């Protein structure tokens, strides 16, 4: 073993700094974040919730093909971005659109994939945000590769590799952890455990004490955190990023949260879970938890709440306008970005499509 086994074990209970009623919870290892950091997080949570609701509405209007909502998981979305430096990378999943926007990507560009126009609507190199990954866990290997390259170049880059509980059942997850541990890459694996991989509950995915325990076999230290407590997330993820940046290798963080809405608009969660199961999680809403705490300490008032809501509404309006514009598709784009220099086979395929379209126009 290259690590002390005792240092790999996650805590027996998820770290919580603010309870669901908005009361501070003393913790030996972590203090509460700076008050202004919590205020910034609150403003971002409001924007993320409005973004989620607007995206759902755009699906119903036919402006988006599909939308996997992170409603109720916004604390994870915001915290995993706010702990990063400008030069760090975010590797998101299909459910992390709110995190992508919080990272600074234009909402319309962030939703281009889910509109069905392109595989990605933003420049990954300019934004330091990888394209959203629809296949489970495949992007984790890419994240480790970026982190490894940064380490070889002597750069202070840390990579935040986000995944869900379902991804931990994939081989790519384990391969990524093993490579990252052996080569001590500066990557933070952030599992948003929302209890379901579409319709498969967590109990049917693993028999481990927690998903954070999965790092032990690879020599990766793990930690558990309340995924609806943005204060705890900021501290736990922030500490993990700091350790990774300091050369201590990969970190594994499991956030305990819940997917309160359907997997996507194409899903019917009533077929595999009851409303009674969802109800208790509504009382653990990350926004109300933080708002109660901030109001109780004079850090937030009605005017502030209205101001943040207005800002979020303005962003939603720009989002509606941008996604309401019609786009024109050019079939040649299907072939332009496959290879730097098109192969003979690709040219032949393009000619076939051009011929077929010309025949359609003649009819």
Catalytic residue among 148, 256, 263, 284: 263
pLDDT at 306 over 90: yes
Tell me the pLDDT tens digit for each residue of 171-202.
999 999 999 999 999 999 999 999 999 999 99
- Across the range 277-304, mean pLDDT stands at 97
Q: How does DSSP assign 336-351, residue by residue?
A: HTT-SS--HHHHHHHH
What residue spans define the domains of the chain? Answer: 5-328, 330-363
CA–CA distance, 278 with 264 (Å, rounded to integer): 16
SS3 content of the chain, % helix, strand, coil (to 5): 50, 10, 40
pLDDT at 266 over 60: yes
Average pLDDT of the chain?
Answer: 95
Parallel, antiparallel or unpaired: strands 196-197 and 200-201:
antiparallel
Phi, psi for 138 (deg, rounded to 5): -65, -35
pLDDT at 275 over 60: yes
Phi, psi for 122 (deg, rounded to 5): -130, 165
- Across the range 16-43, mean pLDDT stands at 97
Give this prediction's pTM. Answer: 0.94
pLDDT at 3 over 70: no
| Closest C-alpha to 42, from 67, 27, 56, 22 | 22
H/E stretch holding 225: strand 222-226
Catalytic residue among 27, 213, 245, 272: 272
CA–CA distance, 180 with 178 (Å, rounded to integer): 5
The percent of residues above 90 in pLDDT, for the chain, comes to 91
CA–CA distance, 113 with 120 (Å, rounded to integer): 5
What are residue 194's DSSP bridge partners? Answer: none
Tell me the pLDDT tens digit for each residue of 200-227.
999 999 999 999 999 999 999 999 999 9
More confident residue, 333 or 215: 215
Residues in CB range of 278: below 8 A, 6 or more apart: 258, 260
- 272 in catalytic set: yes
Taking a C-beta distance cutoff of 8 angstroms, is the pair 258, 72 a contact? yes
- 263 in catalytic set: yes
The pLDDT assigned to 326 comes to: 86
Tell me the pLDDT tens digit for each residue of 30-79.
999 999 999 999 999 999 999 999 999 999 999 999 999 999 999 999 99
In 83-170, where does DSSP find H-type helix? 97-102, 107-110, 112-115, 124-127, 138-153
- Across the range 239-254, mean pLDDT stands at 98
Q: Does the CA dihedral 332-337-340-345 come out positive or negative?
A: negative
Tell me the pLDDT tens digit for each residue of 84-108.
999 999 999 999 999 999 999 999 9
What are residue 358's DSSP bridge partners? Answer: none
CA–CA distance, 75 with 294 (Å, rounded to integer): 15
341 pLDDT tier (thresholds 50, 70, 90): very high
The pLDDT assigned to 1 comes to: 39
Taking a C-beta distance cutoff of 8 angstroms, is the pair 55, 267 a contact? no
- 332 in catalytic set: no
Domain spanning 5-328: which CATH class is it, in words?
alpha beta
Taking a C-beta distance cutoff of 8 angstroms, is the pair 257, 194 a contact? yes
pLDDT at 337 over 90: no
pLDDT at 2 over 60: no
CA–CA distance, 11 with 222 (Å, rounded to integer): 8
- Across the range 336-356, mean pLDDT stands at 93
The pLDDT assigned to 362 comes to: 80
The percent of residues above 70 in pLDDT, for the chain, comes to 99
What are residue 189's DSSP bridge partners? Answer: 161, 252
The pLDDT assigned to 37 comes to: 98
Q: Count how many Cα atoms sit within 13 Å of the Cα of residue 177 in the half-sphere of its side chain.
A: 28
């Amino acid at each position: 073993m290259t690590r002390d086994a005792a240092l790999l074990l996650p805590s027996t209970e998820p770290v919580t700094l603010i309870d669901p009623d908005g009361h501070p919870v003393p913790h030996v290892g972590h203090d509460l974040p700076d008050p202004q950091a919590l205020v910034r997080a609150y403003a971002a949570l409001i924007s993320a919730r409005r973004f989620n609701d607007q995206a759902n509405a755009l699906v119903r209007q036919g402006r988006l093909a599909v939308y996997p909502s992170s409603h109720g998981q916004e604390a994870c979305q915001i915290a995993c971005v706010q702990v990063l430096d400008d030069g760090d990378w975010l590797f998101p999943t299909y459910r992390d659109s709110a995190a992508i926007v919080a990272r600074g990507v234009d909402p319309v560009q962030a939703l281009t994939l889910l509109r069905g126009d392109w595989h990605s609507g933003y420049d990954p190199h300019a934004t330091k945000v990888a394209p959203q990954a629809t296949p489970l866990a495949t992007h984790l290997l890419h994240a480790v590769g970026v982190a490894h390259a940064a380490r070889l170049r002597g750069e202070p880059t840390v990579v935040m590799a986000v995944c869900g509980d379902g991804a931990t059942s994939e081989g790519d997850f384990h391969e990524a952890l093993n490579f990252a541990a052996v080569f001590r890459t500066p990557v933070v694996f952030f599992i948003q455990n929302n209890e379901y991989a579409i319709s498969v509950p967590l109990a049917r995915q693993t028999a481990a004490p927690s998903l954070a325990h999965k790092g032990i076999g690879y020599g990766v230290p793990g930690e558990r955190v309340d995924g609806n407590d943005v204060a705890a997330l900021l501290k736990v993820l922030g500490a993990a990023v700091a350790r990774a940046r300091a050369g201590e290798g990969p970190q594994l963080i499991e956030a305990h949260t819940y997917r309160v809405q359907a997997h996507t608009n194409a899903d019917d969660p009533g077929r595999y879970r009851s409303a009674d199961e969802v109800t208790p999680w509504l009382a653990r809403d990350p926004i109300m938890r933080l708002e109660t705490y901030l109001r109780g300490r004079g850090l937030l008032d009605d005017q502030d709440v209205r101001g943040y809501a207005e800002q979020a509404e303005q962003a939603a309006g720009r989002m509606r306008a941008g996604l309401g514009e019609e786009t024109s598709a050019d079939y040649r784009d299907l072939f332009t970005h496959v290879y730097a220099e098109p192969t003979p086979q690709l040219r032949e395929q393009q000619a076939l499509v051009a011929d077929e379209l010309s025949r359609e126009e003649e009819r």
